[in-house]
Structure 1
């Protein structure tokens, strides 16, 4: 029986054994976490756990780990731990770390992590508004998408041919598109389908406009991942429709499958999330199944895949 090769382009591992410190998992619960109570995944989650979730019919040939908000004083510590973890378990085959764009030591943080053969880029989150009607409160503030000092970090990534994992709510997507105009050679990977949290008609239209603005930049790819929302209940049919629309906006050659596990597990099983992405692909781009589930991630994250794609 033929199995579909799969690359999961966004997940998190943690041991919670002192190897790496995750304040939000090991110390106090974050009352502002976007999906509410996350006690269910405050336990170790590592490569064997992820492998066990992949349903029959698929062959997990690689994964990309995205930084998991480890202690910000030592970003290279998570990168070192993941590199050793990969040597033992075969996953991840690439990783996205973190660096402090406002710190004078940002370059040193990047250089230290570039020592890992798995290091591909950085997820550094700008400050964002909690709701679309509060955009003016953060516009131009230190650490925002309009802050020249913060945006210096994007230029450091561009100079080193590293990618930027972009994670902002939908109401910041157009601002992100404008910010990226200053770094035309920077590859950006939009996290979590652009976080369309506001599911009102106006909110979804704002998401569409932002997605279209980003899609005009050929250097931006979107992860078909995480559609949990702090502003709307989980709706599988609506989420499939959003995934399908994201594929149409960016085109199937700039979309990648990603699970965001274990976080997405608060709303759906791994098999269910994968099935939702498959339904969206079947609706609008059935010919692109191999590309979205495997090939695009290889290109986007410059993955070293030794076995044939199919």
Structure 2
């Protein structure tokens, strides 16, 4: 199995007791795809992450916005740069940016000035079910004001991290077509929550549609299921089909920790990913665990054997 360096392409650090994460407040429980998430309402910093990673050689990580108070998106960017300066992690940042807000031009210019910011994320909402999407409910990806904000990303050489369920990937495909020079990174494997044969067939078709555009890559992550422990057996097919669709040069593994600690231990997650792709060529495995995240997020780090 792969034993080389890993860049975790999607994870979070936080200190809910001192920072403004409304959804992590002690008295708050929002509807959440993994159910009760009270267990993650605790401080989680690089030392915690590296302890959880155990034997796996995670040499760098990508911090993704963690629903910090949207009234102060730059506060989160400032905070995480402080963490990086003191701890050496994370090594790239996906910052918060609400693309349809009136101040988006100024905000993107400000976010782009921070040395670790490579991308932004704004979950575009939309339909809660495939049926709602079929009936015409659209996400913000079809909103003209939101798209005007998206158009500004190219100016600042920023990528866009997209978290949306597969039934909105037709909109994502139009976005990729209309803005071919902006890199889109699809989070959490397109959220294939419905594991029925019909659900997975629809997810696969949607993934194939958006993968037609070369400026779309995918993070293989966020595959937990409510009330069901993460396992190789339950996730092998999804991982391999995502790789068959996007190829080993447009996909990367990520943990979504500490969120996915609700479903799996970090050591077991990395071991599971390694088992699923153990038959691939060594260069393909390295691309998935290290090279692609390093390239797409512009991470300036050398693994031990290259130092």
**TM-score of the superposed pair, with normalisation by structure 2:** 0.93
Aligned twin of 1:304: 300
Aligned twin of 1:203: 199
Aligned twin of 1:72: 70
* Aligned CA distance change for structure 1 residues 309 and 201 (closer, same or farther; 3 Å): farther
Aligned twin of 2:237: 241
CA contact (8 A) 1:129 1:137 kept: no
Cα RMSD over matched residues?
Answer: 1.9
Shift of 1:286: 5.2
CA contact (8 A) 1:224 1:277 kept: no
Determine the C-alpha separation between the residues in 1 that align with 2:213 and 2:84: 33
Residue aligned with 2:142, SS: coil
* Aligned CA distance change for structure 1 residues 180 and 87 (closer, same or farther; 3 Å): same
Q: Map Cα deviations across residues 122-177 of structure 1 (whole Å, 9 max, x no partner).
A: 0111122111111156634xx62211111112211122210000111121122211
Aligned twin of 1:123: 121
Q: Map Cα deviations across residues 185-229 of structure 1 (whole Å, 9 max, x no partner).
A: 010111111100111222111111111112111111111111124
Residue aligned with 1:117, SS: coil
**What are structure 1's unaligned runs of at least 5 residues?**
none
Greater alpha carbon shift after TM alignment, 170-179 vs 131-140: 131-140
**In the alignment, structure 1 residue 215 sits paired with structure 2 residue 211:** yes
Which of 164, 186, 189 is residue 185 of structure 2 equivalent to?
Answer: 189
Aligned twin of 1:177: 173
Determine the C-alpha separation between the residues in 1 that align with 2:81 and 2:250: 27
**In the alignment, structure 1 residue 94 sits paired with structure 2 residue 96:** no
CA contact (8 A) 1:6 1:294 kept: yes
Which of 101, 104, 111 is residue 103 of structure 1 equivalent to?
Answer: 101
CA contact (8 A) 1:294 1:309 kept: no
Shift of 1:34: 1.4
**In the alignment, structure 1 residue 259 sits paired with structure 2 residue 259:** no
Residue aligned with 2:235, SS: helix
* Aligned CA distance change for structure 1 residues 295 and 46 (closer, same or farther; 3 Å): same
CA contact (8 A) 2:176 2:216 kept: no
Residue aligned with 1:259, SS: coil
Determine the C-alpha separation between the residues in 1 that align with 2:161 and 2:305: 25
Determine the C-alpha separation between the residues in 2 that align with 1:181 and 1:70: 30
Determine the C-alpha separation between the residues in 2 that align with 1:136 and 1:279: 37
Shift of 1:284: 5.0
* Aligned CA distance change for structure 1 residues 108 and 181 (closer, same or farther; 3 Å): same
Aligned twin of 1:164: 160
Determine the C-alpha separation between the residues in 1 that align with 2:191 and 2:197: 15
Aligned twin of 1:16: 16
Residue aligned with 1:8, SS: strand
Determine the C-alpha separation between the residues in 2 that align with 1:111 and 1:256: 28
**TM-score of the superposed pair, with normalisation by structure 1:** 0.92
**What are structure 2's unaligned runs of at least 5 residues?**
none
CA contact (8 A) 2:230 2:264 kept: no
